[in-house]
Amino acid sequence: MATTVTPKPPAEKKNRLGLTREAYTGGKSTLCSGCGHDSITAQIIQAFFETGVDPKNVVKVSGIGCSSKTPAYFLGQAHGINAVHGRMPSLATGANAANRKLKCIGVSGDGDTASIGLGQFCHLIRRNVEVIYIIENNGVYGLTKGQFSATADMGTAHKKGEINEMPPVDCCGLAVELGCGFVARSFSADFKQLKALLEAAIHHNGTAVLDVVSPCVTFNNHPASTKSYKYSKDHEIPLHDIDIIPHFEPQAEIHIEPGTTREVELYDGAKIVLKKLEEDYDPTNRAQATQSIERSRQAGQFLTGLIYLDTARRSYVDQLHLVDEPLANLPQSRLRPDPKALDEIMDSLK
Amino acid sequence: MATTVTPKPPAEKKNRLGLTREAYTGGKSTLCSGCGHDSITAQIIQAFFETGVDPKNVVKVSGIGCSSKTPAYFLGQAHGINAVHGRMPSLATGANAANRKLKCIGVSGDGDTASIGLGQFCHLIRRNVEVIYIIENNGVYGLTKGQFSATADMGTAHKKGEINEMPPVDCCGLAVELGCGFVARSFSADFKQLKALLEAAIHHNGTAVLDVVSPCVTFNNHPASTKSYKYSKDHEIPLHDIDIIPHFEPQAEIHIEPGTTREVELYDGAKIVLKKLEEDYDPTNRAQATQSIERSRQAGQFLTGLIYLDTARRSYVDQLHLVDEPLANLPQSRLRPDPKALDEIMDSLK
Amino acid sequence: MPSENSQTPNVNDFSIHVATINGSGSQTSNNVLMRTIFQMGVPVSGKNLFPSNIQGLPTWFTIRASKHGYIARRKEVEVLVCMNPETALDDLKALPPNRVCIYDAPLKLSNKRTDCTFFEIPFARLVAEIPETDARLKKLLANMCYVGVAAELLGLDLAESEKALMKHFKGKTKPVALNMKALNLGVDYVRKTYPKAQVPYRIERMNATGGKIIVDGNMACAIGALMAGCSVIAWYPITPSSSLVESFIDLAKKYRHDPQTGKATYAVIQAEDELASLGMVLSAGWAGARAMTSTSGPGISLMAEFAGFGYYAEVPAVIVDVQRVGPSTGLPTRTQQADLLEVAYLSHGDTKHIALLPGTVEECYSMMQDAFDLAERFQTPVFVLSDLDLGMNNWMADPFPYPTKDFDRGKVYTDADIEKLRAAGKKFERYRDVESDGIPWRTLPGNPEEGGSYFTRGSGHDEAARYTERPEEYQRVMDRLARKYETAREWVPKPELTGGPVADIGIIAFGSSHTPVLEAMDQLSADGIRTAYLRLRALPFHRSVQEFVALHPRVYVVEQNRDAQMLKLLKADLPAELCTRLRSILHYDGLPVYADAIHEGIKRMEVPQRVVSGGKGPGTRGEE
Amino acid sequence: MPSENSQTPNVNDFSIHVATINGSGSQTSNNVLMRTIFQMGVPVSGKNLFPSNIQGLPTWFTIRASKHGYIARRKEVEVLVCMNPETALDDLKALPPNRVCIYDAPLKLSNKRTDCTFFEIPFARLVAEIPETDARLKKLLANMCYVGVAAELLGLDLAESEKALMKHFKGKTKPVALNMKALNLGVDYVRKTYPKAQVPYRIERMNATGGKIIVDGNMACAIGALMAGCSVIAWYPITPSSSLVESFIDLAKKYRHDPQTGKATYAVIQAEDELASLGMVLSAGWAGARAMTSTSGPGISLMAEFAGFGYYAEVPAVIVDVQRVGPSTGLPTRTQQADLLEVAYLSHGDTKHIALLPGTVEECYSMMQDAFDLAERFQTPVFVLSDLDLGMNNWMADPFPYPTKDFDRGKVYTDADIEKLRAAGKKFERYRDVESDGIPWRTLPGNPEEGGSYFTRGSGHDEAARYTERPEEYQRVMDRLARKYETAREWVPKPELTGGPVADIGIIAFGSSHTPVLEAMDQLSADGIRTAYLRLRALPFHRSVQEFVALHPRVYVVEQNRDAQMLKLLKADLPAELCTRLRSILHYDGLPVYADAIHEGIKRMEVPQRVVSGGKGPGTRGEE
Ligand SMILES: Cc1ncc(C[n+]2csc(CCOP(=O)(O)OP(=O)(O)O)c2C)c(N)n1
Ligand SMILES: Cc1ncc(C[n+]2csc(CCOP(=O)(O)OP(=O)(O)O)c2C)c(N)n1
Ligand code: SF4
Ligand code: SF4
Ligand SMILES: [Mg+2]
Ligand SMILES: [Mg+2]
């Protein structure tokens, strides 16, 4: 049966815009009950609600797949565009250029991003287009019934028994290599961490990649799968505990124990507080990021948390030196040069 | 004027197949005189000649661009297929599957590989398709008159003055990240190193990526370019001196000074001898490879040599568990199941 | 002729419509029900109407039993089985009066209408009695239980159901027993609760399915590819094409491994997308393998650039398009014939392609073999246009015959040929028209004879495969390509004529419209309209198409798309004076076209005062 | 009328053909020569025939001076300039007798033929005299030197050449002086060496170019896009389209930056490929920007999937296709009109697109503006089909008028509209046909009014933009889309009629065939055949196309492709009984079609005993 993503919250709770969580919900999910993607949807709703982003100033983009359907299930008041398989990044880029004021959130699958869409994914990162890029990663093509995707781990088994012999495309490793300024990994069942990372991503100015392991209960949740709930739970290694102090609420009720935490400031003044777990991890150190990913990959572990952060790079829209107003809103008078200009051009051709 | 790539060698020199260098040449180049690509062509001819590969057992694949034209200029006795822009990797994959006995060499440009073809490039590496993959990297689209490609360095200037603000796609960094078993970088003007790397690549069983900086004299050889002859010469940092001892000629005339070299064995028994320069570099250490690339990138240097080698991974054709004979050569009797088989299938449907 | 609830029961001529939820395992029960009828010798067909999602949305399955052997979709339903609360009211509303409705007890449908016969069955409660089963299995068994109910009401032979289950579970007795238990619970419940029940629909044994098989078109294509010696497949999953390649994999695992070494004589490559798929297929075909890909509309669009390369560089490839509803993502789990124009001219520049149009599962099998032969003979991409209805639904058929023809590997010069040429002072020229049929000779890589190699490219080339920009050299190759296409008219599968030769009107159709057209011909004949029917089986058209049109004053072109795509292709090809005879019967709502729609569409236009239909509601559109 | 070497010299009615090597800077000299003639008031056109490489291969430039104002390509050449050793012999061979040949001395051509007048010029030696120049510059100057030779022989006004150089070097006096020196060396050498030389070709001042501009179609399109307020361009470089976007960038840098802040009111994004380009354009258009891309055939093929999305999801986009020779990579630097069928139906499923067909540089300018208006009015991708001849060659034109119409932004509901709807108890429904013209209303992202948002998708949707798989809901949207396309017939640029109304035959053509058709009409008229000419300017066809065909017993469709693509589109659209009138004139060797070819093609078919031509050599093909 189809499930509703959003258990009703207590009606009274409102965010800084005076909106209830309800204002951040969308249509009814049609995914399989228990699908990891639905949990991610729930955290997206929660993160946007808590951060207090106006849903009408958001645009949602996606490709094709079970995962790519989910933008219909959150932020119903935002415009959304769900195009073709693997091309979500180009949508984000165009929407950014046309209207720089909109917050862009993109949802993709591992097939959508790492198989057919790998080129666009890399080029989006290279441009540093401002988008929260969520990969709902289940290692298979859910919607076409469970074939391996390019993120399938080496040695993982298909439902039918076949073993994958190729190494996975590691979207986080790739993102770091390509100079992405915000790279995080999480697990759809790790609600708290996922929400915190989403909130951090909302504050980032540039491409924020969130690779979220999100089990496919129907096709890839069997014992020999490395993307099952059980395997993921057993092998998850969180880098740190994460909390966000929004810029609009600097006195947030986070209890910080001195010496055990690291603070990182985001683009708009919000802060991430990272409580160290096993070891102290510095997400602003690119070399360490690469190494940690590589090490955990070799150990068969699954590292979660904020892997890499660099807030210094300019977003693509900034690189384009655009006027402050959205291009989409400019009136004819600012878009069509005056007759003098045309005369000048004609003279140059005489 | 069009230039000939191949200055005639002394007529008498023959390789182990009794072929002269002439047997490895191709059509007349139509590239600009001085183009880096022509130097690479010359080294390809030389490497195949010296290694003694039968040119008729080679297939040449390429995309579209000045670089992609070059397979017409070498190994004229080999079949070649020059298809569409950015899709050379899929050609290599299909040719491998159809005829596993053929040695496949692919030539591409930085636009062909890192812009339009980035997805196929990554997936080829993931599969470990056996191909010598040469990227003739000039940072621009030569054939369409000099626009930046995705390997244009941050801060490099266009002929018209425009500065590139995006980080480059580093094909070597990417290849290492994706688990490629043979990753090398060279410079079209560094003949000796380039030839040695090509020879090593010939001996590799899997994807061998050679990212060769190859200046475009017409569109990207100006002072503010980071892919000019001058800039490349000034910033090249070779990791080591390289020599190859072929498996068929184990007593090659290489003088090895003890303590200063490192030997690495290739798939077919040939050996690479690396003479250390600044520091001792171990190309089998993936973490070091990643770090060295990253460090040199930050230093604005241009690291050349064999960056990473891993001969353990099985090539794609091996993963497919194919019969030993080329699929293309199988007779009908081995391709069409017998009447009993069809009966069995029909029975199962009754 | 809807069968009314009268004294004489309708025997072997009605439809059962089962409404369930996808992912609930109803597929198995539906198949067992269908097979039971089939095994009783009654011609039957099954159409699955499923959503583009994995679990939880409405699904319908329609089983048609037809003593006349009609296996097309029927719109009318006689027996409705309601298992899905979400659609039950709508499903019931659509049922004509005096029919039978079996429903899951909690749905309480019997008080919604008075003009139907209802059977309320507490499925969940019944299967609750079966011990040791989890929730998911319970759902499956509830579905199996409805088969028992239907069996009892319609007079099915339970032994056949058990046989069907044995087949399904490959002889494993435990699940068979469990399912039979559920089935019998249904039987018993009906006997107990409705002891005097008499429904006016009966299945009685016939002898019309003996020796036949039931198969879907994708499996048939897979078997065809297997027998055609296909050795390289590169593909990217997409509904409704995926099961074609997946079936091939299953078959090849069994029948295409070397007995000695256990190694494979085929490679199946799951590519990263459709661009790569076709690239791999083309280079494999170029290198001498029999290579194919299979996809659906979106994949075809992505292949446009490479398809043009294949055409111009003359590289064999087989490309199956299992069509679904477009445009764009459209309705991935619905059927349409709307990729014709795209495929016929796929790619920029002057390109035109060979395409085969299987109309039955038998042809899915045979035309896959034709496709490989034609691809190698003509050294060009050959498209096979199937569709979801043909590809994914169950069709009754005669067992496929073992191929009688050897592979046609086309014009390939061997080493010896090259040597002979050289001895004769001649040279191999890749793109020369040696036999004036427009088809040149090729060689394969790895050809060790000197002078046998050539450089293949999508840029301008002369007859010796050298790069050229010279107008006359370019044009010479293009003119030869046009000639080659003309040659193909005689090589592709010829159209098939049914009825006629003397007839009042002609009908042209193709692909999965075949069975409804046959049925509509009978209906028209009952109305006194004699028809002749030409089934197109390939592009380019054979000259008999022209002859057929010339023989009939009005020719109705039946197709499952909005834009009359086949009619456009016919107009482009036929002499203009014949085109005035063509009329369109269009059906494009995503469900398979059915005989009544064709019958009514044609009748409407054949009555003296023609009624021109405009933007009417959904359904079939007739147009002049 | 080839001008023979007679007593009365040919004034202002001949062609100069210059053969050089690309990358040698001949472009500048060719332009100076052409501009000199232009500035002397003589109608002139220049066609550049260049190879698909960067340096070292043969290039030709043909300048046609025509006192009649004919600016189409002519095949005949009167004055040949040979600078390229590689092609000199062939070039000379193609020259008709009694013409003039200027050649670089080392080529020693004068002893090859006796029926031409030769001028041997030692270019390298002459420019060697110019001090302080490097080898590359020497080559440039040698080319400039030939302009001096031609100037002297043909009577050109050197002051105009100097003006042209001033223009070229943007007033920088040093290079102008240097080039003038080279030019004068040529003049002097001729005076000294051939003091009595008299060639039968002269340029004399006229007054037919006053106030005119010289511009290529790509620049004209760029100016059009600029004035249309294009604010987002995503593109990927490809010949022959790149210079369109590059011209836009140059213009926009000057005219589209905010005077206060210096910031840009446009974004030009060099995408990673054409798939991404169109994705960016579509989402930018969806978000409310005026967005476009420009490409050529291979790029169009790659856009197939996204084009179908744009059609079905109803998103505005402008897509320029500067056509080159296909199929596949084809001849990237040659011209053709062979992407029509591809563009008309681009994508799988039932898709059909609006396409504009500029025939002149003026229309490149105006139709780019139309394209943006239509894209937003019809919320759909609009294609502009230019070609290499139109786009990259130099065309004389009247200065472009400042636009008189405001932007048509189409049906966009603002916040206020949404509020009003709500106040009236209504709801915004994205895909409802409110005005029965098939065009729905849209809203833009960032619309802060509740109820104003919607979810855009390429999968099945109902009128309220909700996902659906219901047959009737799917079909309702598809039928409205068909209606929208019908509405477009009245909105797109109407065909243009020349000649007639009473005529013996009709001619239909479009795009860059325009000027040769005009010239051929005069030729036919001289033969006593009266013609009426309808120039198609858009798809879908306006009803006047049908009226035009109905008026003429035979209508010749002139097009630059092999497969009669426009004729096929016409047949698909026109009533069948009119199609019998259509005949094809095809030209597809990669060079622009010329008047003689059309004239002869039509004449051949118009003489009583029709000569049916088959697979003749290259050139134009006439077909019934
Ligand atoms: C061009 C194209 N090819 C193939 C498909 C079929 N298809 C739909 S979704 C999908 C894969 C989805 O996998 P993923 O992105 O991992 O999403 P998931 O369903 O697993 O969430 C595929 C191959 C398509 N829609 N378009
Ligand atoms: C689909 C497609 N888009 C664009 C082009 C035009 N094009 C030809 S070569 C090329 C770029 C070549 O750059 P690169 O690969 O770096 O090769 P180079 O010429 O620099 O050696 C482009 C964009 C094309 N041929 N096909
Ligand atoms: S098939 Fe897998 S990914 Fe798709 S909805 Fe079901 S559980 Fe989720
Ligand atoms: S344009 Fe550049 S890349 Fe192309 S041939 Fe010339 S120098 Fe080489
Ligand atoms: Mg997935
Ligand atoms: Mg390049």
CB contact under 8 A, C272 and B119: yes
Q: Which residues on chain C are in Cβ contact (under 8 Å) with D334?
A: 460, 469, 471, 474
The residue ranges of every structural domain in chain C are 10-210, 215-397, 415-488, 496-612
* Domains: count for chain B: 1
> Residue C553: which of C517, C578, C530 has the closest Cα?
C578
Pocket test for ligand 1, best of A82, A88, A133, A143 (most atoms within 8 A of CB): A143
3-state helix, strand, coil in chain D (%, to 5): 40, 20, 40
Among B167, B177, B294, select the one facing A126 at the smallest CB separation: B167
Residue D18 CA to residue D102 CA, distance in Å, equals 9
Give me the torsion for CA of B174, B178, B180, B183, rounded to 10°. Answer: 20
| Residue A340 within a domain | no
Q: Which residues on chain B are in Cβ contact (under 8 Å) with D55?
A: 31-33, 218
Cβ atoms of A131 and A104 within 8 Å: the answer is yes
Q: Which of A209-213, C314-318, C499-503 has the lowest mean pLDDT?
A: C499-503
CA distances from C624 to B283, C253, C509, D68 (A): 73, 51, 16, 48
Confidence band, pLDDT 50/70/90 cuts, at residue D3: very low
**pLDDT above 90 as % of chain B:** 82
Q: Is the pLDDT of residue D514 over 60?
A: yes
The answer to whether the CB of A220 is under 6 A from ligand 1 is: no
| Residue A161 within a domain | yes
Residue keyed to tokens 């790739």: A174
| Residue A12 within a domain | no
Condensed to tens digits (0 to 9), the pLDDT of residues D194-250 reads 998 889 999 999 999 999 999 999 999 999 999 999 999 999 999 999 999 999 999
Pocket test for ligand 3, best of A28, A29, A35 (most atoms within 8 A of CB): A35
Query: What CATH number is given to the structural domain containing A307?
Result: 3.40.50.970
C21 vs D: CB within 8 A:
no
CB contact under 8 A, B81 and C279: no
Count the Cβ atoms, other than its own, within 10 Å of residue D501: 9
Residue C527 CA to residue C188 CA, distance in Å, equals 46
CB crowding C345-356: b at 16 or more within 10 Å, else e: bbbbbbbbbbbb
Across C450-593, the runs of DSSP E, i.e. the strands, are: 455-457, 496-499, 505-510, 531-536, 538-539, 555-559, 582-587
Pocket test for ligand 4, best of B1, B28, B32, B40 (most atoms within 8 A of CB): B32
| Residue B10 within a domain | no
List CB contacts of C36: < 8 A, sequence separation 6 or more. Answer: C147, C151, C156, C157, C160, C161, C164
Q: Is the pLDDT of residue B215 over 80?
A: yes
List CB contacts of D613: < 8 A, sequence separation 6 or more. Answer: D604, D621, D622, D623
Residue A109 CA to residue D292 CA, distance in Å, equals 28
Confidence band, pLDDT 50/70/90 cuts, at residue C618: very low
Condensed to tens digits (0 to 9), the pLDDT of residues B292-308 reads 998 888 888 899 999 99
Question: Pick the residue with more confidence: A260 or D325?
Answer: D325
**Residue C397: per-residue pLDDT:** 96
Mean pLDDT of the D81-91 span = 95
Its domain, for residue A254, covers 31-319
Structure tokens of A180? 């992405």
Phi, psi (degrees; rounded to nearest 5) at C185: -60, -40
List CB contacts of C111: < 8 A, sequence separation 6 or more. Answer: none
Count the Cβ atoms, other than its own, within 10 Å of residue B237: 14
Dihedral sign of CA atoms D281, D282, D287, D289 in order = positive
Specify the CATH architecture of the domain D10-210: 3-Layer(aba) Sandwich (3.40)
List CB contacts of B161: < 8 A, sequence separation 6 or more. Answer: none
Closest listed ligand to the CA of B67: 2
> Average pLDDT of chain D?
94
As a whole number of Å, the end-to-end CA separation of chain A is 71
User: What's CA C525's distance to the chain center, in Å?
Assistant: 27
ipTM confidence? 0.96
> Residue D366: which of D199, D189, D226 has the closest Cα?
D226
Q: Which residues on chain A are in Cβ contact (under 8 Å) with D211?
A: 350
Confidence band, pLDDT 50/70/90 cuts, at residue B10: low
Residue of the CA atom closest to atom 7 of ligand 2? D238
> Hey, which residues does B61 pair with through a beta bridge?
B81, B106
Cβ atoms of C474 and C457 within 8 Å: the answer is no
Q: Which residues on chain C are in Cβ contact (under 8 Å) with D297?
A: 348-349
Condensed to tens digits (0 to 9), the pLDDT of residues B201-212 reads 999 999 999 999
Residue B175 CA to residue B183 CA, distance in Å, equals 7
Among C21, C52, C270, select the one facing A147 at the smallest CB separation: C270
Q: Scanning every residue of chain C, which has its alpha carbon at the shortest distance from the alpha carbon of A65?
A: C53
CA distances from D209 to A345, B219, D47, D102, D516 (A): 18, 36, 18, 27, 19
Spell out the alpha helix ranges (H) of D40-172.
88-94, 123-128, 135-154, 158-168
Q: Which residues on chain C are in Cβ contact (under 8 Å) with A147?
A: 237, 242, 270
DSSP A315-332: PHHHHTTB-SS-GGG--H
Confidence band, pLDDT 50/70/90 cuts, at residue D620: low
Residue of the CA atom closest to atom 8 of ligand 1? A65
Residue of the CA atom closest to atom 1 of ligand 3? A142
Confidence band, pLDDT 50/70/90 cuts, at residue C134: confident
Spell out the alpha helix ranges (H) of A99-163.
110, 118-127
Phi, psi (degrees; rounded to nearest 5) at D557: -100, 110
| Residue A327 within a domain | no
Structure tokens of C347? 């790619």
Structure tokens of D500? 């007639």
Condensed to tens digits (0 to 9), the pLDDT of residues C310-367 reads 999 999 999 999 999 999 999 999 999 999 999 999 999 999 999 999 999 999 999 9
> Hey, which residues does C331 pair with through a beta bridge?
C325
Q: Is the pLDDT of residue C489 over 60?
A: yes
Which residues lie with the beta carbon below 6 Å from any ligand 3 atom?
A 31-32, 35, 37, 66, 138, 142-143, 216-219; C 54-55
Count the Cβ atoms, other than its own, within 10 Å of residue C272: 29
Mean pLDDT of the D339-351 span = 98
Instruction: For residue B193, give the 3-state DSSP assignment.
Output: helix
Amino acid at C24: S
Give residue A137 CA to ligand 5 midpoint distance, Å.
Answer: 5
Confidence band, pLDDT 50/70/90 cuts, at residue D287: very high
Spell out the alpha helix ranges (H) of A99-253.
110, 118-127, 171-177, 191-202, 229-235
Residue A215 CA to residue A194 CA, distance in Å, equals 15
Specify the CATH architecture of the domain D496-612: 3-Layer(aba) Sandwich (3.40)
CB contact under 8 A, A98 and D285: yes
**Residue D613: per-residue pLDDT:** 39
Confidence band, pLDDT 50/70/90 cuts, at residue A253: low
**pLDDT above 90 as % of chain D:** 90
Residue D244 CA to residue D217 CA, distance in Å, equals 8
**Residue A7: per-residue pLDDT:** 59
Condensed to tens digits (0 to 9), the pLDDT of residues A230-245 reads 999 999 999 999 999 8
Count the Cβ atoms, other than its own, within 10 Å of residue D378: 23
Which residues lie with the beta carbon below 6 Å from any ligand 2 atom?
B 64-67, 85, 109-112, 136, 138, 140-144, 149, 216; D 236-238, 274, 298-299, 302, 329
| Residue B215 within a domain | yes
Q: In what order do the strands lie in the sheet with D496-499?
A: D496-499, D531-536, D505-510, D555-559, D582-587, D620-623
Condensed to tens digits (0 to 9), the pLDDT of residues C266-323 reads 999 999 999 999 999 999 999 999 999 999 999 999 999 999 999 999 999 999 999 9
C580 CB burial (10 A radius; 0-12, 13-18, 19+): middle
Residue D422 CA to residue C54 CA, distance in Å, equals 37
Instruction: For residue D86, give the 3-state DSSP assignment.
Output: coil
Q: Is the pLDDT of residue B253 over 60?
A: no
Spell out the alpha helix ranges (H) of B72-135.
88-98, 110, 118-127
Phi, psi (degrees; rounded to nearest 5) at D293: -140, 165
Q: How many Cβ pairs closer than 8 A exist between chain B and C? A: 220
| Three-state secondary structure of C545-564 | HHHHHHHCCCEEEEECCCCC
Orientation of helix A36-51 relative to helix A191-202, angle to 10°? 50
Residue B163 CA to residue B157 CA, distance in Å, equals 4
**Residue A249: per-residue pLDDT:** 65
**Residue C325: per-residue pLDDT:** 98
Residue A128 CA to residue A314 CA, distance in Å, equals 7
CATH of domain C215-397: 3.40.50.970
Residue of the CA atom closest to atom 2 of ligand 3? A216
Give residue A212 CA to ligand 3 midpoint distance, Å.
Answer: 14
Spell out the alpha helix ranges (H) of D40-134.
88-94, 123-128
Q: Is the pLDDT of residue A193 over 90?
A: yes
Among B57, B81, B337, select the one facing C446 at the smallest CB separation: B57
DSSP D446-513: T--STT---EEESB-B-TTS-B---HHHHHHHHHHHHHHHHHHHHHSPPPEEEE-SS-SEEEEEEGGG
